[in-house]
Amino acid sequence: MIRAWLLRDGVEGHEDVPVDQLVDAIDPPKNLLWVDCVDLTDDELESLQSQLKISHLAAEDLRKGGQRTKLEHYPEHYHVAVHDCGLDADDELVTREIDIVFSDGWLLSVRQPSDSSDDPSPFGVEAVTQRFDAERMSEDHVDDEDEGLLVWAFLDVIVDGYFEVNERFDDRLDAVEEIVFSSTRGDDIPKEVFDLRRSMVHFRRAVAPLREVLAAMLRREADCLGDTAIAHLQDVYDHVLRVTDWIESQRDLLTGLLEADLAVISNRLNQVMKRMTSWGAILLGSTLIAGIYGMNFTHMPELNWTFGYPAAIGSMLLLTVGLYVWFSRRGWL
Amino acid sequence: MIRAWLLRDGVEGHEDVPVDQLVDAIDPPKNLLWVDCVDLTDDELESLQSQLKISHLAAEDLRKGGQRTKLEHYPEHYHVAVHDCGLDADDELVTREIDIVFSDGWLLSVRQPSDSSDDPSPFGVEAVTQRFDAERMSEDHVDDEDEGLLVWAFLDVIVDGYFEVNERFDDRLDAVEEIVFSSTRGDDIPKEVFDLRRSMVHFRRAVAPLREVLAAMLRREADCLGDTAIAHLQDVYDHVLRVTDWIESQRDLLTGLLEADLAVISNRLNQVMKRMTSWGAILLGSTLIAGIYGMNFTHMPELNWTFGYPAAIGSMLLLTVGLYVWFSRRGWL
Amino acid sequence: MIRAWLLRDGVEGHEDVPVDQLVDAIDPPKNLLWVDCVDLTDDELESLQSQLKISHLAAEDLRKGGQRTKLEHYPEHYHVAVHDCGLDADDELVTREIDIVFSDGWLLSVRQPSDSSDDPSPFGVEAVTQRFDAERMSEDHVDDEDEGLLVWAFLDVIVDGYFEVNERFDDRLDAVEEIVFSSTRGDDIPKEVFDLRRSMVHFRRAVAPLREVLAAMLRREADCLGDTAIAHLQDVYDHVLRVTDWIESQRDLLTGLLEADLAVISNRLNQVMKRMTSWGAILLGSTLIAGIYGMNFTHMPELNWTFGYPAAIGSMLLLTVGLYVWFSRRGWL
Amino acid sequence: MIRAWLLRDGVEGHEDVPVDQLVDAIDPPKNLLWVDCVDLTDDELESLQSQLKISHLAAEDLRKGGQRTKLEHYPEHYHVAVHDCGLDADDELVTREIDIVFSDGWLLSVRQPSDSSDDPSPFGVEAVTQRFDAERMSEDHVDDEDEGLLVWAFLDVIVDGYFEVNERFDDRLDAVEEIVFSSTRGDDIPKEVFDLRRSMVHFRRAVAPLREVLAAMLRREADCLGDTAIAHLQDVYDHVLRVTDWIESQRDLLTGLLEADLAVISNRLNQVMKRMTSWGAILLGSTLIAGIYGMNFTHMPELNWTFGYPAAIGSMLLLTVGLYVWFSRRGWL
Amino acid sequence: MIRAWLLRDGVEGHEDVPVDQLVDAIDPPKNLLWVDCVDLTDDELESLQSQLKISHLAAEDLRKGGQRTKLEHYPEHYHVAVHDCGLDADDELVTREIDIVFSDGWLLSVRQPSDSSDDPSPFGVEAVTQRFDAERMSEDHVDDEDEGLLVWAFLDVIVDGYFEVNERFDDRLDAVEEIVFSSTRGDDIPKEVFDLRRSMVHFRRAVAPLREVLAAMLRREADCLGDTAIAHLQDVYDHVLRVTDWIESQRDLLTGLLEADLAVISNRLNQVMKRMTSWGAILLGSTLIAGIYGMNFTHMPELNWTFGYPAAIGSMLLLTVGLYVWFSRRGWL
């Protein structure tokens, strides 16, 4: 599905443009044509490609999706691929690729389908529109740089979503930490830790290349962005640095948690072994006493004592209590 | 075996060229001579070397094979060594070295034998020809840059094969993960993990240097490639980045899986030890009771009770049930 | 709460300035206006923004806080975000963000609330004032560079606080080390180690980017700092390098401690298992002897010997002593 | 022992030069004087130093040996230190330092003693001479660049030896791998792995800096090498990259093997514990039955049954078989 | 304590200079004034500061000590801080900070107190004097570069000391290795390994920044050093590279040793468990036989056999021998 709007300089609001008359609406210094697509069919793509003169290599990327986060220069336009990230109901990472192709006077945003069939919150352009309009109406806005501001609005919304993912990771790290160091721990920590690790690895793969993309923009490699947009993108760049710093910390802590978990398990095994040894000694000691008085020697004076039996039981109890105290004191029980 | 074709500018299709008349066919600005060899003999190589004026150092490389992925500059030509990768029936990595020597007007491709005696799918030039012809016939094609396009066709086919290897690795990672966290796990996980790791290490060694090779081409260090080819190679470069990113993630996850596996094993050992301790205590406790009433004291009133025997058996059962419940509640059984 | 002082060149001491007449006090080559805020309200921020002409992106950062350590260039001013660090009563890391916005003639310091609700020592400007005044009154002071000196005073006080955190980490590392290698060790080492690790990870995240901030200042990217301040900041830069070196060493040692701890636990487990095996053999051996003489064969000559019983007990003792000596010699007991 | 040859341009073969008349033989544009030493005495060194005008710092290096792989520039000459590597009978790494000092018109090669007293194959100059002569007699040889070609011949022979070391490492890795995953594994794997690791660490220390040495030569920092030599050294550089890549892969696999070994050991420990628990339960169960019928109660009807004894034995057998089947099915036996 | 010498160009030997007349002795192109201090008091420092015009930031560093290894540029002079390293009687690392402040015509060396109260070999200037004099008297010495040579003499003596530390580390690594793989190993390996690791971490922290210090000098950032000194410092730089390479290798081997140790411990635990299981089965088997013939059934024909008792004992022995052989063959005993 394609929708297209014309944004006239100095005029508030968006004008709808028929999808097959895009070329007429492009008028670089004055207006911005924004074409937004979702569930793009091959026919639609072909129409866009011929109208907007998109390179056939870029068009191929738009058709297939599955691009890595990148900024590519084509003679006639730029192509930015980014990934909106979120977590689904099972806390698995969901990524939604957004391809932004732009040049002087027009911007094409293609929202690729999410990589999870059961995506709880697909990417919506409303947040982008809202942020873009707000900035466009602010006083220090320069009219002919709307392309850059729209790119910024997309990136800003997407990167804001990264912080939520980070926060959710923090919550899960806290949960795992609590279980690792609690005395009533379950046995499914390795699975928890590994799931979290996988999410982090995938998240990092989506986010990390965005640093280079933004650095290239800040070096003004894409010349149609404009000064205001660059200043705003500096802010997004800073956010991306925070996100990647945060992921690194979280990965570090996760590794630390798994190591701590192994140490905790080893400690408990030691504890179990000591307890086992202690109780084994106590029970075997008493069994030995019983065994001794079960021998069939003719001359065993104790057997005929009136209090022989209570004495034997008593010595068993004494041994049990004695060993119990001794092992307790050494911390084995 | 050598085959040679002449590709005339503006003319569709390939013309066969006799192998001993290669020199006559070289006419840089107009045509492209493509020589393709497989199972190259020393005589054939000598003939090629003298006809195409290949440096004797490069000829030595072609003869011996076993080159690392690289781009080398010689005064008269360039030499690119790449490795086509695949997996054999046992999921072991198979690499097939392809050496491409090219200069203005001619390109020599030498397909070295695969490093596995039992290669399921040797590299075929058909895919290269097909992709090259398609691009050559496209409208925005410039005739005198066919050398670069042919280099691109080779690299594009080879790098596409890398994604299949990556996907197979992902499948195997999923399989290992399922076994690690399943309750009916086998004991051969370390071997599985190590085999996978070795394949990844070898794959990485073949793929990683391709980044530098392509970066050098994009910096136009090989001056006979042409603008169209450079634009296409940018795409291949991007694919190689995706492949290497992917390998890194997979290595990371594999390490995580082995660590998780160790934690799972430790957990199970703990569980086995607790169960062992519990059953030991239950059985030894009953044995002790039996031992006590096996003592031969003259004065043991219980021995003469009518219900002494059932009482003893009962106390054993009671102890067993009591300890069983107690240990179960603590999660030891 | 906002307070503002005017520092006239060549005049000792600070003059109070009404908060709504800041603009009049700015007179770049001659004076320095220092505005210090704590618990900034939105109204106060708006007033400052309009008076000092702060960029609305920077104002947004000041309002929200939670910035990463950074130096940002705006057309009209610079923005430095740093974090004062300390440890609370539970030895958890507390960070207090300080935002410094400065330009020719004025400096605004915003002290954000601490990230711990129970901060034992909130950041006070007194130390900054004192250090700044001392340097300002020194003989080799150049009057029109007060902005840079004030920035330096802030950073110097904050970085000095980092050393205290490092020293506390060293103390805790020593404490953990003593426990790991002591014979009466507790079981809570993994928790200790992990807590320490988390503090270090967070500390590092706050401190590490300060290197780049200072390097940028030393490269004179902020042109209103002045030569004296640059020379002083070189000193702070050196301190930050020492702090980050120190953290790296501490992280390295912490990792080493956890690994050593695992090895120690494994050694002890081995020791426990050997002791268990030894005592098991001793007790089971004696039990076997008792069992043998508890058999009911008609023809067992020893049973009728006068000294049969003492002999059996004696052989048990002999076995016990013999095995005890044997196992002791092998270091199993 | 010193030997010196004069190589006249355009003349095949070497001319002997008296060791005390070296100066007369140096005639840069035309000839090359090659001085080769082994077991250099202090007197000989002094004579060489004064005749060839070797810097006293370089002379000190030649006398003491133990240099790291490096290229050093002196005003009058260059000094290259490399290490020929091999493996002795116990598969321990042997390094033999070769110092090459060269300038326009002369080259001095000093073969330092091997670092192993029992070196199976000391470095011989014959291979160098042979390779140098072959290249010198080839058609595309330029006469006045013999210095560079001789340097190349040394490095080429040495680097070729590295591949043999790498191959031997591969063989040993395969051997260790086979043992780790075989069911009849020995216990000396950690020692094997550590020995291999140590050899790799030392090998890497000798080889890795050669990359920088060659890169410096390729950047033409040593100006007397000549174009042909540079082209040949490019080939050696490529070999060194292959060697270092290979070492990295081998280190990676070795780490993987040790981790796999730990996982295998843990698996086996788990298996042993389960078997132990199973047999313990079987034996203790039967012992308990025996204990029950060893009790001395007056009223134990089974004791007087005719088939009481066979029934007891039968129940023991039943219990044994039952538990055996049950544990086998669960994979504990 | 301060001592000062004047070194006149072309004149051998040192002339004493009164400590309060340093200024008169400074005469850059001709002479070198060397001031050496140990246990510097605040008064002495103040006198030096005013006489030599030392920056108050540098003076503060000299007073407090505890600097990181660095080279700092001040308008009037340079400041180099290095650390002489050694090992005390307990093999703990001792560092002794040496601060060298120099400019055209004078050099001030401040020997800070050692960081260990019980330093076996404090840094002595004698070695420096000796090396400096030897080089100063050599023939290729240029008179007006004495400042650089003195800096070199200090660094050369200090770096030579590093090799001794490295060698001691190698000895200790060998000792630990021998214990790890010996059969009569002690249990204190983790402590040994950790102590060694800590020493290495601290050593590395002292040595590693020296690379940058020397690289800066070789880039001639300190312009009063002179060509001869630069050539000599190249040699020191090379030594520092060797030292840091060596530390890296040692750290690598140490990590390898700890991992090998864990694998060895795991192997031994496996061995102990197998032995325990074997002996448990042997003893419990015999106990079961004894238990069976201890049952009180009326009809147990074996009990009345004449050779019943010896047969029972014999079957116990048979079982013991049989199991012993069986377990031995499987390598469990």
Banded pLDDT at E27 (limits 50, 70, 90): confident
| pLDDT value for D141 | 64
Return d(Cα D228, Cα B57) in angstroms, integer: 11
Instruction: Supply the DSSP symbol for D209.
Output: H
What b/e readout covers D44-83, taking b as 16+ CB neighbours within 10 angstroms?
Answer: ebeebbebbebbeebbebbeeeebbbbbbebeebbbbbbb
CA distances to B35, B45, B60, B79, E221 from B52, rounded to whole Å, are 10, 10, 14, 13, 52
- Residue D280 has a pLDDT of 87
> Which residues in chain D are contacts of E298 at CB distance < 8 A?
303-304, 308
Low-confidence ranges of chain D (pLDDT < 70): 139-144, 184-186
**Which is nearest to A52 in space by CA: A130, A131, A106, A127?**
A106
84-103 in chain E: CB under 8 A from chain D: none
> What value of ipTM does the predicted structure carry?
0.81
* pLDDT, one tens digit for every residue, chain C (333 residues): 889 998 887 777 788 888 888 888 887 777 889 999 998 899 999 999 988 889 888 998 899 888 889 998 888 899 999 999 999 888 889 999 999 999 988 999 999 988 887 787 888 888 999 888 888 877 666 666 788 889 999 999 999 999 999 999 999 999 999 888 887 666 778 888 999 999 999 999 999 999 999 999 998 887 778 888 888 898 899 999 999 999 999 999 999 998 888 888 888 888 888 888 888 889 889 999 999 988 888 888 888 888 888 888 999 999 999 999 999 998 887
The C-alpha atoms of residue E163 and residue E148 are separated, in whole angstroms, by 23
Confidence of residue B200 (pLDDT cuts 50, 70, 90): very high
Taking residues E255-261, what's their average pLDDT?
89
Distance in Å, alpha carbon of B160 to nearest chain D alpha carbon: 24
Question: How high is the mean pLDDT of chain A?
Answer: 88
Selected residues 204-243 of chain D with any CB under 8 Å from a CB in chain B: 231-232, 234-235, 238, 241-242
Tell me whether residues A297 and C294 touch, CB distance under 8 A: no
Give the tens place of pLDDT for each residue, E132-156. Answer: 888 887 766 666 678 888 999 999 9
Mean pLDDT along residues B61-88: 90
Q: What is the pLDDT of residue D75?
A: 84
Query: Each residue of C186-223: pLDDT tens digit?
Result: 677 888 899 999 999 999 999 999 999 999 999 888 77
* Closest to A191 in 3D by CA, of A138, A133, A261, A106: A261
> Which residues are bridge partners to B265 per DSSP?
none
Residue E128 pLDDT greater than 70, yes or no: yes
Q: Is C267 on the interface with A (CB under 8 A)?
A: no
Is the pLDDT confidence value at B289 over 70? yes
Partners of C298 on chain E (C-beta within 8 Å) are: 303-304, 308
Nearest chain E residue to D81, by CA: E238
D276 vs E271: CB contact, 8 Å cut-off? Answer: no
Cβ distance E201 to C252 less than 8 Å, yes or no, reads: yes
Please compute the mean of the pLDDT values over residues A121-147 and round it to a whole number. 80
Question: Where is pLDDT greater, at A299 or A243?
Answer: A243
Task: Kindly report, residue by residue over A164-182, the tens digit of the pLDDT.
Answer: 999 999 999 999 998 888 8
Q: How far apart are CA A111 and CA A117, in angstroms?
A: 15
Residues of C with Cβ-Cβ distance to A260 under 8 angstroms: 190-191, 193-194, 258
A 142-181 near C (Cβ less than 8 A): 177, 180-181
- Checking D172-175 for CB contacts under 8 A at 24+ apart, the result is D172/D91, D172/D196, D173/D250, D173/D253, D173/D254, D173/D257
Nearest chain B residue to D269 by CA distance is B269
Within 8 A of D180 by CB-CB distance, chain E residues are none
CB atoms within 10 A of CB D36: 17
Query: CA-nearest residue of chain D to E298?
Result: D304
Which E residues 17-46 touch C at CB under 8 Å?
Answer: none
Backbone angle region of C265, left / alpha / beta, with phi > 0 → left and psi within -120 to 50 → alpha: alpha
Quote the radius of gyration of chain E (alpha carbons, Å).
35
**Shortest CA gap C258–chain E (Å):** 10
Q: Is D259 on the interface with B (CB under 8 A)?
A: yes
pLDDT the model gives residue E317: 93
Q: Are A257 and C258 in contact (CB under 8 A)?
A: no
The pLDDT, as a whole number, for residue C25 is: 80
What is the tens place of the pLDDT at every residue in B91-132?
889 999 999 999 988 999 999 988 887 787 888 888 999 988
Closest CB from A190, A265, A291 relative to B291? A291
The subunits that touch chain E, with at least 3 C-beta pairs less than 8 Å apart, are: C, D
Residue A141 has pLDDT above 70, yes or no: no
Q: Kindly report, residue by residue over E269-308, the tens digit of the pLDDT.
A: 888 888 888 888 898 899 999 999 888 888 888 888 888 8
- Give the per-residue pLDDT at C142: 64
What is the Cα–Cα distance from E105 to A322, expressed in whole angstroms? 82
pLDDT band of E254, cuts 50, 70, 90? very high
Of all residues in chain E, what percent carry a pLDDT higher than 90? 38
Chain C partners within 8 Å of E57 (Cβ):
231-232, 234-235
Cβ neighbours of E64 (radius 10 Å): 9
Neighbours of chain B (3+ CB pairs under 8 A): A, D
Report the SS3 class of residue D258. helix
Cβ count near B161 (within 10 Å) = 18
Nearest-CA distance B304 → chain D (Å): 5
B chain contacts of residue A68, beta-carbon cutoff 8 Å: 238, 241-242, 245
| E300 contacts D190? CB cut-off 8 A | no
Handedness of CA D216, D221, D223, D228 (dihedral sign): positive
Residue A241 predicted with pLDDT over 90:
yes
* Token couple for A37: 């697509």
- Residue E295: per-residue pLDDT: 87
Please report, for residues A81, C210, D17, E171, E210, the alpha-carbon distance to residue E84 in angstroms, rounded to integers and kept in the order given: 54, 29, 48, 20, 11
E252/C contact by beta carbon, under 8 A: no
Q: Does E138 touch chain D (CB under 8 A)?
A: yes
Are residues A274 and C272, on separate chains, in Cβ contact within 8 Å? yes
**Closest to B279 (Cβ–Cβ): which among D245, D270, D281?**
D281
Nearest by CB to residue C234, choosing from E72, E309, E312, is E72
**By C-alpha distance, which of D70, D127, D133 is closest to D98?**
D70
Question: To the nearest whole angstrom, how far is the Cα of B148 from the nearest Cα of chain D?
Answer: 24
- Given this model, what pLDDT does residue B184 score? 67
Q: For residues E76 and D243, which has the higher predicted lDDT (pLDDT)?
A: D243
Is residue B303 predicted with pLDDT exceeding 70?
yes
Give the residue from A91, A112, A109, A87 showing the smallest Cα distance to A100. A109
Does pLDDT of B237 surpass 80?
A: yes
Collect all residues with Cβ–Cβ distance below 8 Å to D171 and sequence separation of at least 6.
Answer: none
Model confidence pLDDT, tens digit, residues A44-70: 999 999 888 898 889 988 998 888 999
Q: Which residue of E has its CA nearest to D260?
A: E263
